[in-house]
Amino acid sequence: MSTLARLEDEWHDEIPVARLQGEVDASNVKEMGDRLRSLLSNRSVALVVDLSQTTYLDSAGINMLFALADELRGRQQRLCLVVAETSPIARMVTLTGLDQAIAVRATLADALSEVGAGGE
């Protein structure tokens, strides 16, 4: 198990929210991707990945998120990211065009309303 990053999850109705804390690089990206996928069920309409406490994310992580978005899209599910506006992660997301491919919001509340979780 990698100690670089931790994944905490919480549920808003049927929508899983994964809070990714720490660093994601080539050494732990597969493990993180697998754990994100494991949060989804057939009833999930979306997955929210909260990157506000992510301290490092490079192309390995960006690629994983692109791939995850493709998979979800194929199952009529949505991927939404929470990225603080001024964080270095936001620049990576913009730089790679990830924000063009999937919804990126500055707060969890915004992300939840984006994917239609009630009352948040």
* Torsion angle of the four alpha carbons 63, 96, 84, 80, in this order, in degrees rounded to the nearest 10: -50
Indicate which single residue of 9, 31, 58, 114 sits in contact with another protein (rule: CB under 8 A).
58
**Residue 22 found at the interface with another protein (CB under 8 A):** yes
Do 4 and 28 meet the contact criterion of CB atoms below 8 Å apart?
yes
**Ranges within 60-89 binding another protein (CB under 8 A):** 60, 62-64, 66-67, 70, 88
**Residue 106 found at the interface with another protein (CB under 8 A):** no
How distant is the alpha carbon of residue 34 from its chain centre?
12
CA distance 51 to 60: 15
**Residue 5 found at the interface with another protein (CB under 8 A):** yes
* Contact set with another protein (CB under 8 A): 3-6, 21-23, 25-27, 55-56, 58-60, 62-64, 66-67, 70, 88, 91-92, 95-96
